[in-house]
Every structure is written in C-alpha cells, then in structure tokens.
Chains A and B, each alone.
Chain A
Amino acid sequence: MLQLETIILFCIKQLNSERTIYSIYHLLNGKKSSQTIQDAHLFSLKKFFGIYESLTRESFDEIIQSMIKKKWIDHSGEQHYLLTYSGNSILETNPPPTYLNGWSYHPFTSLFWERFSLFIQVTSNLVFGDTRYVPIQKNNDVHLWLKSSLKELNVPRKELGNIVYSELIECFNMTKEINPSILVFRLTGFQQIGLTPLQIVKKFNMNIHDYHIDFIHTLHYLMQAIKLEPSGFPMLTILIKDFHQQDELTLSSRKTWNLLNQGYSPDMIAKFRRLKLSTIEDHLVEFALHVDHFSIDPYVEKELQTKIVEISREIGKRQLKLIKDKLKAATYFQIRLVLAKYGGE
C-alpha cells in the first residue's frame, strides 16, 4: 500500500466526516487559506500541512477511488467519508511516517534540498580538486549562502568530505525508519551526477507518490535531527542555522493586525482596506489560532464562549452547522473564533 494512502486514511479518521475529502487535498497542498490552516490545527493534522505541493487533484481523486474500491473508506455524505473496519485496522498496522512535520518545515523544505544538494556537490568537488563543474542548483541566493557559509567553516578543505560523510552516516544511523537511498542517489558529486526523481522511481521500482513522501520524509528527518543536536553535526548545521520559525501570519492579515492594534474595528478595517468583512473575519480567526495574547472577548461574550465550547464537546464534533443549529444566538464567525481559540485543546 502507498504511504500516501496511510496519510489520507489518518486524515479521514481525524476529520471524522466533519469536513469534505478535499480539505485533505488542500492540506497536503499547503493551501494558505484560513480554512485549511484552521483545520490543520483543529484536527491535529499540522504535520501533513504542505507535504505534497505538487499533488494534482486527478491523482488525489484516483487514490480516493481506489481506497473506496478496496473498502477502506465508506461514503458518509456528499464528498464525506469515514474509515471502515478494515480501513481502521490497515491504519493501525501502517501508521503514517513518523518524522513528517509539514507545519514547521514546509516553508524550508525545498530551500533545504537546494542547499543540501549544492553543499554536497561543492564539497565533493573541493575534495577532488575540480573547479570547473556545472552547479546543479541555479538559485543565486543559494550560491551566495553557500559561499559565505563555507568561509565560516573552520575545517581544512581536505577534511571536509570525510567529516560530512561521517555526519551523514551518523545521522541516518539514528533511525531505522528512513531509507536514505532515495535521497542519497539524487546527490551529485565530482563527475558523478545524481538521479532525477523519475530515475529513482525506476531504479527502486517504486510508486511516484511513495517516492515523493519518502523524499520529503527524509528531508524533514534530517532537518529535525540536525536541529535537535546541532553540536553533533557541526557541518550539517550550517544548512539550517538561519531557519527560524517564520511568522505564522500572512502578509494581509499582518496589515489587519496593525490596524486592529491602532483601535480600528473590523468594519472600519474592511472599508479602509477595501476588503470584504468576511476576509477581515478570516484574519481574526487566524489571530485566534496563532497569537496567544489575542483576546476574542470583544467579539464573543464570555458566556457565549463557554456555551460554544460546551456544545462542541457535547456533540464531539467541530462542524459549524451542528453547533449553529443548537445555538441560534451565535454567528458562524463567533463559533469559528471560539473553536480556533480553544478547539485545539
């Protein structure tokens, strides 16, 4: 079975039919909408956010269809699905890959690969004394980064290859869950050119989706392992040194945030920015998710907040419509705010 199938099964289980199947597609794609971001938090699916940006809707549909055929999932409403008994047991015996951490790493994953592959190529050519090779990464920023990073390394050039080799071996030895081949054979060195993704797929006779998940999984593992113990990997740590958890707010919501702090109301901000009120409300939901000290009290009375939390726990669901039906006094916006603020607990 495909790892992507396990991941999707896991997501379906977590969503518990409260969202459509396509919310999973948006999640894997890393769609930057407040709905997707909020869902990732609410249903504890952050680790899968943006792990497969190139997944097409056609491929996604195909996988869903094949899982229906295999009777792992069952229809529970339009575009809604639940795990079947066999789906559940499949998921139990095949848990999703451990080290995926999309929420924290997806902004850095491709940059990490560009740096890593160029770093290895440059190191290899240094070790073998070749200066006239074609760099396999064209991104100028990555070139500039490598130039300045290499200067800071206080290691004799002769030694660099050996050290990087041992660090990588050690890093990969720390886990049994990763198959380093998928990554290692993509690397380019002195007079030895790495394979393309499709060539890897053929070499190991694997499925393209599995390749993709393995590849991202390995990159996330590396970033995590290096970050956890930078002193153990003095060379590799340069790859992630400046990766700081980015601000979680989008540019547009940052503007809203600034205006809000100057004392403007959501209505005024909408007018001022010529945006729909609903967009500004989306921003407020984002703040409720990410900004700890953001208070939702001005928008939802305390009493109503408690009621919304209670009802959501009572019915065990985070489906807005069900809550709204039981609590006519609350608006959808208020329910979303409360769920965003307290829903993850």
Chain B
Amino acid sequence: MELEKLLQKHFGYHTFKTGQKEVISSILSGKHTLAMLPTGTGKSLCYQLPGHILKGQILIISPLLSLMQDQVEQFKRFGEKRVIALNSFLSPTERNNVLRHLKEYKFIFISPEMLRVPFIIRMLQQLTISLFVVDEAHCISQWGFDFRPDYSKLGDIREKLGNPLTLALTATATRKVHEDIITSLGLEEIVKIESSTDRPNIAFYVEKLADYHDKQNRITDLVSRLQKPGIIYFSSKKAAEHMAALLDEKGICQAMAYHGGLDQNTRILIQQQFIYDQLDVICATSAFGMGINKENIRFVIHYHMPMQIESYLQEIGRAGRDGNPSVAILLYSPGDEHLPIQLAEGELPSEQQIDWLFEKAKNEQLIKDNRIELSYQLRDLGGFSEIQWRIIEDFVMNPPQNVRSAEMLKFTIKEFVKERLGVKINNIFQMKKWVESTLCRREFILRYFDEVLPKKVPSCCDLCGLQLNEYLCNETTPLLKKGEEKWKDYLAKILINSELSE
C-alpha cells in the first residue's frame, strides 16, 4: 500500500510533514537511519507508521518519563492500544504483569535505566524487535547539551538484542553530535536524513535593555500589542509567576504561569486552557511545551537567555506551526549570562561535594569491594540535588573498567564534572555570541549546525532590518468580560449538544 494511503487510514492526514516520508521509506527499505527533524514535525510518526507494516515489536528508548507518558497517551488517543511504557512509574505488580504479556504489545517505550536490569534485557531478547528507536538521540553525545551517561551504553544493549534495525531521532544537533550517535550505537552504514533547522516563518528579534525592570515594562508593552497567543519563557518559577500576575493585574491579557512547582492537576488544566485559547499567554519555565501541539502560537519571548542554542531553537520552534508569520523575541540585559552559568553549575556535583562524599565514605567505612554504599542519607547530608546524585550514582554503580580504587573513581568523577562544565559554559558562550552577533541571526544559527541558508527570507531578523510592526494586532481587542455566565448556562454548554436534539 502506498504510504500516503496508510497515513490517511491510520492517522487521518493527507500529506506528510517535511522529512517524515523519507525517514519512513528508509526504514522500510531496511536501512539504519539517523533523522534530524526540527521540533514539531511529528517525529513519533516515523516509527508509528512503520509499526503497521513491520512484524514484531518496536522498542523506543526515551529519556524523559513525562514525555514518555505523553506519547503513550497520544498513541492511545489515536486508537493504538498496543502500547506500553516500561518505567519507574509502574508498580512492581503492574510491571510483572506487563512483562508477562510483553509479546502482546506492538510499541514498547522504555527508559534507559530500565535497560540496566538484566532480567528486562532477557525478556526483551525473547521478542522479535523489528525496530530499535532511540528518541532524543543527542543525549548519547558528550558534546550534546543533555548528555546522559545511561545513553552512552545503548550500543551494548543494541548488540545484546541482536543488532536490530535502528532509527535514531534527534532534534537540532551539531555534526559532532551526529558522529557520536553513529559510533556509539555501532552503526556502520547509515542513512542520514536532515531537514533544515531553519523555520522560515519564525523571525528573530533581540532587544538589549538596561535591567530587569526595563524588561518587565517592555514585556507588558509588547504583549499588549503583539498578536496572540504566545509563550514567555523564564529561567525561574518566581519570575514567571510574577510576570503572569502583572499581566493579569494590568488587564493586558489572560495569562497564567506554568512551571514544575504546580501540582499535576493545575498543570494539565492550564496547558489545556492554553490549547483551547482560553488563555492568551503562558509565562513558563522550560517545563512547558513538551508534547504540546498548538498550531497558532504567534510569539515566543525569552525573558532569560536559555542555556544553549539547541534549547532556544526547541523553545521558539513551538511558534508558528501553522506556517503563518511568527516572531521569537529575546530580551537581554548585561550580566544575563550569570544565571545560566549558575544553573549549569547546579546541575553537576561540586568539587567540595565530591571530596566530602569520599571523605565521609572513607571515615565511616562505607567502601566495600572498592564500591561506596550509597544512601539517601548521604545524598541529603551532602546536599546533592537529584540531578547531581544521578551522576554520582551512575559512576558508583557502573564505574569505567580502568577504575580500580575509590581514589581513582573520585578523580574520574571530578574530571567528568570539569569536562561537562566546560561544554556547558561553552554552550552559554555560544548563546551569548548569538545575542551579540552583528551579522544575520538566522545565518549564525545555521552555521552553528553546519548548514547554509538556502534562501534569504523577507522577514528575517532584527539585524536584517526586521520591524515588529507586522506582528502587532490591528486593533486592541478588548478583554472578554468575565463572570457574566451563569453556572446553569455553563453546564448546559458542556452537556447539551443542541444539534443532537433536532
């Protein structure tokens, strides 16, 4: 059957988005494939559709638990029930139950830490895995901003599963990262499908302001005049809350904050309110956006500078999915780079923390067979955050082969931290260079990803003479008056479909 017909039959779409068809064809002709598709081009379709043709199971390795849950839900919404997520959200009974019936699932999502469990590998070995999918494959690379040690072992796991046909998916990544992915997975011949990083309908605009006070004023001014809906990104929950309250108090628009500190129910409601246009603006941290499909976002403003160009592209990539003109605005004031540097340092254990841990382990004789016995007390006493502790745990549980003593392990961890910090700070530096660029911003980004700009777009960036006028609303639409609807009317609106009663 033609691919388009399959697409229509199973998903109800008429045409593929950029790159999708090429990736699917490459997979179906039995070739290992590395696909770099920009955010919002429907990467999951690239393995979901082949699933309707290939026999056996599709195994998808995905690093983020919340994203995994989202994807599973989305599969189910589109009528695919043979899908399961193997991760730490499952209770032991649920997990056993799932493992016993593993053959009945078509799509198995799994987190990298689950792949460490030998029993699970044995269960997977009994299946016929027709496609091995590595989602967010840039996590494999030391050069990637989101390197995960777990991910670098996927090559071994792939071998244990009999070197199945492989699809590595990544959003924007540099050439160096691509090479790492290919060698790490042990793929010799591979088809690379890259669609351009460029999103021609999104214009860039950077504005330099004196301080945060000016930024706040500028944002209220921009938001009142720009076409909506839009997202404003912050690096701190507090700043996001503050701005949402300010926009609301001043009656500028319907705005709400969204961040990881809110309870799950509130997060779902706010996300959905935004999707159904009940909110104009979301003031968010980077926790917002994953798995959100909203076509008509007209602007993305950054109040704080992201930690790397990759994240920046991912976040602004949520604008203009309908193809209509949209704008990405970044506000910069001097010294803004300090915050991301602080955040970068906070993601890694500090030298003092590492020294403390090994000293403590030595004094309290927690080292047995050259291995430290880790505990939550140690984590809390040492003030390790979850993300810091994950690094320590990974080194202690799976030390590199040449490391034979605690002293050597300590040294190795410190070296690792230094190296990671170096990568992160370089990323921040690149971001800042982009902010301070005097040449075209679009070309700068493309060059960063070793691409060339195919065709100059008319609405490009501030440095190419972009004016914000074309993104402003024609007239200021007055805020809808709230609080006039009666509860009975609301209830009738959601429960009674008048078209049915005729």
Give me the interface of A with B, judged by CB distance under 8 Å: 120, 123-124, 127-128, 131-134, 136-138, 158, 161-162, 164-165, 168-169, 180-181, 184-185, 187-199, 203-204
Contacts and interface: CB of A to CB of B under 8 A. Distances in A.
B266 interface: yes
B269 A136 contact: yes
Nearest to A133: B77
A161 B499 CA distance: 12
Interface of B: 73, 77-78, 256, 264-266, 268-270, 272-273, 276, 278, 482-483, 487-488, 490-497, 500-501
B497 A185 contact: no
Contacts of A192: 276, 278, 493-494
20 contacts: A132-B78, A134-B77, A134-B268, A165-B491, A165-B495, A168-B491, A169-B491, A180-B487, A184-B490, A187-B490, A187-B491, A188-B269, A188-B494, A189-B495, A190-B494, A193-B269, A193-B272, A194-B269, A196-B270, A198-B266
Nearest to B291: A134
Contacts of B493: 189, 192
A44 to B, nearest CB: 34
Given A134-B73, A189-B494, 20 more contacts: A120-B495, A123-B495, A124-B495, A127-B495, A131-B77, A136-B272, A158-B500, A162-B501, A164-B495, A165-B495, A169-B488, A184-B491, A188-B494, A189-B495, A192-B278, A193-B272, A196-B269, A197-B266, A203-B482, A204-B483
B239 to A, nearest CB: 18
Contact of B483 (A194, A197, A203): A203
B495 A185 contact: no
A127 B500 contact: yes
A124 to B, nearest CB: 4
Nearest to A195: B269
A127 B488 CA distance: 17
A203 B256 CA distance: 14
The 4 closest A-B pairs by CB, nearest first: A189-B494, A184-B487, A161-B495, A165-B495
A121 B273 CA distance: 14
B491 A193 contact: no
Contacts of B77: 131-134
A134 B271 CA distance: 10
A124 B272 contact: no
Given A136-B265, A180-B487, A128 B482 contact: no
Contacts of A197: 266
A185 B488 contact: no
A196 B266 contact: yes
Nearest to B264: A138
A138 B269 CA distance: 12
B269 A161 contact: no
